[in-house]
Structure 1
Amino acid sequence: MKRVCALLVCLGAAWAMAEPLAGTQPLTGTNDLSDAYLSGLDRFTLRETERIAAERSTQWRRRLSEGGPAAAAWLVTNRTELGRMLGVRDARVPFDAPETLGTLSHDAVVGHTETHTLLRIRWPVIGDFAAEGLLLEPTQSSAIITNIVHLPHAGITPEQVLGLTNGAAAASRLGFRFPPSNCRMVVPAVISRKKSKYLSELPDLSRKPGAATRGGRVMTAREFVYRPAYVMGRHVIGYEVQEVLALIDWFRAQTPSASVQVEGWGDGGMLALYAGALDMRIDHTVVAGYFGPREALWREPIDRNVFGLLRHFGDAEMAALIAPRRLTVLSTPGPEETITRELKQGEGGAPGELVSPTADAVDREVARARELVPSDGGGWLVRVTEREAADSHDSAASLAGGKWHGATVDAAACAAREARLVKGMNAFSQHLIAVSPAVRHAFLADLDLSSPAAFDRSAAAYRTYYLERVMGRIDSARTTALNPRTRVIEKTAAYTCYEVVLDVLPDFILYGFLLVPNNIQAGERRPLIVAQHGRGGTPRTLMSLQNGGRKTYHEIAPRLAERGYLVFSPQNPYVFEDRYRQLVRKANPLQWTLYSYIHLQYEQMFDWLDTLPFVDGARIAFIGQSYGGKTAVRVPPVMPRFCLVVATGDFNEGIIKMASTRYPFSFALVDEYEMFEFDLGNTFNYADLAGLLIPRPFMAQRGHTDGVAWDEFVGYEYARVRRLYTRLGLSDRTAIHWFDGGHEIAVDAACDFFDRFLKP
């Protein structure tokens, strides 16, 4: 009988725990909902990629079919947008002619043929950055009728292109010819994907003198340049396109009647395509080993990642920007490469792969390009098959067919050249970081500081800009059916914890924990706090230690519930390490970030919370730790429903943190390759984003031993927040809590801040 009673008690407890929240359906199943959530986001994003590509193609066909001024204006707008995406936005340095590079040990003249002299050259591009390469100068310069820029694939040197040394794939030369006697050719050096370990310029001052240097990861040279450039609205691609355009400046100034041809294979073909699309002075663009569908851009090396590219362009649309000028697509094999990510071997760079476009894929993209342009423009687009390129290949006239006299190549000099290019590009990015406070100040000049209400009105345009252009908004309509499913997973004397799942979009769910105090009276509405976990966390991370909580969160969710607050802890995408990083790779070409998903699911969350009779919709606050602290200064500022925000374990001088290669705590030097947000450095730092919360209260927390940054940077950035609140007469609505601790939440201080503004 005792056993039967015990069994009935257990069954009764199990039945009670299974009871859903009133107004919701029972949540069933035993699958890992965090895993299901992230897997669903992945499927959703891949499906959206196909949808956006189809809509893009339809829109381009419609706009170009209008013809006349309307079509011309469409092309100008998109050419401008492409330049912005690639970071081609800096004035180039004018020059009369390239500088020849000779030293006591290396003559500037590399060698001669019967028709050309080969010279090592350098030319200014932007700021103090200068490009380098080889110049094939005709013996009779006055007879030049064509200027050619030949762009190698990353990792192939100009010397290898011209056959002076071995190492260039045979396919890289198919369809390309050694210039005739009346043509000049420049072969710029393209930065490779050679891996190196990159360390900060300064030591870690938070460690004891003499302690081992911390930080620094192995990554490719191109990724090292890409990371800080991307944050500053620039790109390794854009820097190299600028090299090409600087040469065209020179060509057009010196030989204005000569035609200009830009050609390349692999990455060189990519650069040629971008350059041809951007610069109307290029008469003929030749692309080999690259042209094709771009919807799998996320698989390619991260240095090819362009924010928002697929929302506006595929390769066919790029070709349409070239028309009616000549474009030749060589359907020759492209490079095949795999970039590994071995964390145990100190590799922090992103994985990626290059797969040669198939002939069928090239044909489909060429056909799509021809469909976009109403007429063929007199045969502007020519596709050359691999067989045709091979049949026309004359080894004596190939790029490597020059009969050199006295040519010498020093491998060490080639390596030193690449090191100079990497250093020069990164130095330009670091200069942009240094001057970025003034750039952001000018960008934010329209904020009205005359009153809190005037500021709030003027900030609306900036909130929209950040949401649309920097964070990225998912424009798919949310499902109207919330379909809430819940189940009780914990019941204490103080609260009941429900596991919650809502539908957002097909394959896109919202998952989290809702803690409801047990002493809520009928008709009573309580304030709710959204408590957000950090990287690698789940809703359980914020629970009690015996219930799976993480120590650095100090059981914040149950402690808030015990103080009488409703608490909702949603699952955010930054979980399962490289799986979420690959989600960012898929999102970026759509002009999305991780915060795009978070923004959309929070919108759905608010709609659901509005249906709960015990939630006070005017008193919904936010606290986030670590990656959740990043979320705190990015998402609530554009969501006025959040009435108060606390950012912990992250707030600091965010642009230096993200893009500087000087400091050891910078993301530019570690293995979190997804952290970089395009153009953030020219628009919003942390203080600027926190300012968009005004007049809502804001608190930052900083543990002195938190390795996120140094106190000095946190203090500097928060001082800007406090100054803004003070100028608007709102100094009592902001605070920073300093404490002797690390990467953790100071729960008592947060609770005091909540109590001050959320309780009567």
Structure 2
Amino acid sequence: MRYAVVSVVLAAISGTAWAQQQDVKPLEGTAPLRLEEPLDVDMVRGINAFAEQEIVLSRERRKRHWHPDFSNHAAYDRSVADNRARLRTLIGAVDERLPPGTRQIVLPENLERLPTFPGVTAEFVVTGEGPGEVILVPDANWAPEHITGKIAGLRPEEQLAHVLAEMGIATRTLRLANRSSEFSGRPDLRSTNQPHREYLYRPAFELGRHIIGYEVQKILRAVDELEAAGKKIVVWGIGEGGLLALYAAAIDPRIELCVVSGSFGEREQIWQEPIYRNVWRLLDEFGDAEMASLIAPRSLVIEDCMVPEIAGPPPPSPQRSGAAPGQITTPSPQSVEREFHRARATYERLGVANRIQILASSAPERGRCGTAAALQAVASRFPGRVPGKHSVEPLAADEASRRLHDRQRELVDDLRRYTQRLLHGAAKERDKYWASADRKSLAAWEETSEAYRTQVYDELIGRIPYGLLPPNARSRQVIDEPTHTGYEVVLDVFRSEADGSQPIIAGGILLIPKDLKPGEKRPCVVCQHGLEGTPMDTIVTDPNQKAYGPYKGFSTQLVQRGFIVYAPQNPYRGKDEFRVIQRKSNPLGRSLFSYIIPQHQQTLNWLATLPFVDADRIGFYGLSYGGKTAMRIPPLLPPRPAHNGEPARPGYCLSICSADFNEWILKNASTEDRYSYVFTNEYEIFEWNMGNVANYAELASLMTPRPFMVERGHDDGVAPDEWVAWEFAKVKRHYDRLGIGDRTEMEVFNGPHTINGKGTFDFLHRHLNWPVRPED
């Protein structure tokens, strides 16, 4: 470091405790700051604790979404119709299925293929004959051939299709995407160790679809056929299939009986399960008991039994990596019992308590699925059946391996290609979404776009409905340079209503020029670090320091130009420590940026109180993940004048996105481009249904009429120039047509993923009305 104070601070922020530092010199008007550990560690831990507290509170809060009418069964069904429709949307089961009547039977394999969507087929293995038919949905690690006994691997009592066939009940067993990673990736691009389910989940999630929704739709495609044939409809799922069967029966009242084996229980730990079970906003409205209430008054059988448990994804290798952590364990008997009793309460209110039952093994240890009681519950639906011997001819080992390989490859490719077709049509869906925004004039745009700003915040980011606390600003001086001083600052933001909860904090480093004149107010630039960064990374000026490469000390450069500078700590630091914040928050309809927005609003509120900051001239400049912040925070935090008794609210008057701007939806959902996050370890990056709501051009439009700029290096591996130029062209057109084309620009330079600090500095001087001095 070029100055001793900063080298001490950098060491402290990197991990050295501050507890032994006694000489704390605070900024005037703030309390002394002492931290027991680095700011980022304290911040991330606090947000994680908050998210877990909110998950616990969600169980009671779900009631606000439910208004059941128990007067009779028909009235009850009508009263939960909206809940059912929302659940269908949340799992992405929204595409219209192809009509029944078209199917392909492949003999002698007994495969039945039901076209579900264009290019997507639901594949079943059909077994047995009889007056009834059961749709079997196995665990993802079990192929239909395991369930039927055609391929070894399961004990005879677990081969439910074979067992039911001998009872005179026909079955069709659905093939699921399994947890292998064999087809996860493209040999000509990148391969990953993501289970097939995660590989299909990632791009689908960005487009408002889900592997859960796709496979539920396959179940319902079979339901369509059975209904058309006038047959009884029973669905039985085991493990992963139990989860799918529960969803299917919850959203489709045609299913008369649902059997869930080894999957029913409390969902509050869903964030620890594989990411392909992550459902946006699920726990805000639905636990398993609530989904059971959508099945009522129809019959539901819950088997408390053991299912395949998963310790994590396939192990990584130099050739395959990037999978999200997550494990599957069988719900504990206590968890099953508690959730069952919550579900039973609804059945009791409807006078049909006998239609829900829980089946547990009587052995000292929990048994396997397919108890005699479960089999009898299914058999009772099919009077007139004729039990008999059902013979099975096992496949030879090489034939078994070939069949499983070919069928899984085709399944994964079909769903991958279907999602890519959705991706190619997403821009048109966004155009429809934004059709009500009036671009005929700047005034019309400002009036009609405000609703979109609210929708983006509520539906895409996720709003946390807690008011801001008094900031309780604490600080200590950490930099003393000839041209400026620096203070580390911590602010309180908000807290959960959970008992004893600690406040979420915001923090960063404030840089103040030493040539301030008494009473002078200057513009302020908020300089945001990228992934795994700290505020000090934006400040260091020693070229030998790693952080200097991408940041070029741009915070220091700007304070030396006379700007007030604030470098915030954002919580995307700590690898899985911060990534699980997204996992914990998504089921509540929240994201990582749900916390960052109020952190920045509190920061703006506090900066506006400083006597040397001009509250009307606070700009934002972020690199990389800080560029992601530039696209999500300033657009949603415009300055607000006082109105109807509400005080004025400071906001960002401009935004600069450096080393991040691109065709964001393509980058998140493409399986055909090496730049895509589908292949990388950033599993927290995906935002539910963003492809149909807002790309970067739409987010940038919410900056209007405030200035917006993009900084782009030709050699930046984030995306190719063509993607960046394509998306920025839409921004430029938007500003031009509103008559403010001079307020947006893009500088492209020869360089990598870094701050360039040429055109962007000029942009800041011009739009923050701060003169360029000779020494600059």
- TM-score, length of structure 1 as denominator length: 0.89
> AA paired with 2:119?
D
Aligned residues: 711
* C-alpha contact (below 8 Å) 1:178/1:402 kept by paired residues: no
1:588 is displaced (CA, Å) by: 1.1
Residues 1:461 and 2:451 are matched in the alignment? yes
1:491 is displaced (CA, Å) by: 1.2
Mark the CA change 1:239 to 1:526 in structure 2 (over 3 Å): closer, same or farther.
same
> AA paired with 2:505?
I
Residues 1:485 and 2:458 are matched in the alignment? no
Select between 732-741 and 666-675 the one with higher mean Cα deviation: 666-675
Residues 1:710 and 2:720 are matched in the alignment? yes
* C-alpha contact (below 8 Å) 1:370/1:376 kept by paired residues: no
Structure 2 counterpart of 1:610, from 608, 611, 614: 608
Partner of 1:349: 323
1:439-466 superposed Cα distances (whole Å, 9 cap, x missing partner): 1111111110111121111111111111
Partner of 1:195: 181
Partner of 1:281: 254
> AA paired with 1:404?
S
Partner of 2:403: 413
The alignment partner of 1:665 has SS state of coil
Residues 1:260 and 2:233 are matched in the alignment? yes
Distance 2:392 2:552 in 1: 74
1:382-427 superposed Cα distances (whole Å, 9 cap, x missing partner): 11122396465899x99x9963154546321122101101000010
Alignment of 1:18-417 (within 5 A): 18-56=24-62, 58-59=63-64, 63=68, 72-101=77-106, 108-110=107-109, 119-136=110-127, 138=129, 144=131, 146-168=132-154, 177-179=163-165, 183-196=169-182, 198-200=184-186, 215-253=190-228, 255-256=229-230, 258-340=231-313, 345=318, 346-373=320-347, 374-377=349-352, 379-387=354-362, 390=371, 392=373, 403-404=390-391, 406=393, 408=395, 410-411=399-400, 412-417=402-407
Partner of 1:737: 747
1:303 is displaced (CA, Å) by: 0.8
Partner of 2:507: 511
Mark the CA change 1:48 to 1:65 in structure 2 (over 3 Å): closer, same or farther.
farther
Distance 1:737 1:694 in 2: 19
> AA paired with 1:450?
K
* C-alpha contact (below 8 Å) 1:178/1:401 kept by paired residues: no
Mark the CA change 1:15 to 1:414 in structure 2 (over 3 Å): closer, same or farther.
closer
> AA paired with 1:510?
A
1:519 is displaced (CA, Å) by: 1.9
1:139-176 superposed Cα distances (whole Å, 9 cap, x missing partner): x6xxx3x3311000001011111222222367856899
Alignment of 1:494-573 (within 5 A): 494-504=483-493, 505=495, 506-546=502-542, 549-573=547-571
Select between 332-341 and 234-243 the one with higher mean Cα deviation: 332-341
Structure 2 counterpart of 1:429, from 419, 424, 427: 419
Distance 1:626 1:239 in 2: 33
The alignment partner of 1:552 has SS state of helix
* C-alpha contact (below 8 Å) 2:124/2:173 kept by paired residues: yes
1:541 is displaced (CA, Å) by: 1.0
* C-alpha contact (below 8 Å) 1:222/1:236 kept by paired residues: yes
Partner of 1:105: none
1:68 is displaced (CA, Å) by: 8.6
Residues 1:685 and 2:706 are matched in the alignment? no
1:19-75 superposed Cα distances (whole Å, 9 cap, x missing partner): 20111100113521111111111111111111122221x436765568899855541
Distance 2:571 2:159 in 1: 44
Distance 1:67 1:489 in 2: 69
Mark the CA change 1:630 to 1:15 in structure 2 (over 3 Å): closer, same or farther.
closer
> AA paired with 2:324?
A
Distance 1:172 1:259 in 2: 23
> AA paired with 2:484?
Y
1:302 is displaced (CA, Å) by: 0.8
| Uncovered stretches (5+) of structure 2, i.e. residues with no partner | 1-19, 364-369, 380-386, 496-501, 639-650, 771-776
Select between 518-527 and 275-284 the one with higher mean Cα deviation: 518-527
> AA paired with 2:720?
W
1:637 is displaced (CA, Å) by: 1.0
1:549 is displaced (CA, Å) by: 4.1
The alignment partner of 1:440 has SS state of helix
RMSD: 2.6
* C-alpha contact (below 8 Å) 1:175/1:393 kept by paired residues: no
Partner of 1:719: 729
Select between 271-280 and 446-455 the one with higher mean Cα deviation: 446-455
Partner of 1:210: none
The alignment partner of 2:193 has SS state of strand
Distance 1:187 1:722 in 2: 53
1:589-629 superposed Cα distances (whole Å, 9 cap, x missing partner): 11111111111211221222232222211111111110111
Alignment of 1:739-758 (within 5 A): 739-758=749-768
* C-alpha contact (below 8 Å) 1:489/1:498 kept by paired residues: yes
1:356 is displaced (CA, Å) by: 0.8
Distance 2:155 2:714 in 1: 54
Distance 1:281 1:15 in 2: 68
* C-alpha contact (below 8 Å) 1:341/1:348 kept by paired residues: no
Higher percent of residues as strand? 1
* C-alpha contact (below 8 Å) 2:151/2:395 kept by paired residues: no
Mark the CA change 1:699 to 1:744 in structure 2 (over 3 Å): closer, same or farther.
same
Structure 1 counterpart of 2:665, from 630, 648, 655: 655
> AA paired with 2:634?
P
> AA paired with 1:742?
P
Select between 408-417 and 444-453 the one with higher mean Cα deviation: 408-417
The alignment partner of 2:331 has SS state of coil
- TM-score, length of structure 2 as denominator length: 0.87
* C-alpha contact (below 8 Å) 2:148/2:160 kept by paired residues: no
Distance 2:763 2:141 in 1: 55
Distance 1:735 1:644 in 2: 12
Aligned identity (percent) is 36
> AA paired with 1:481?
P
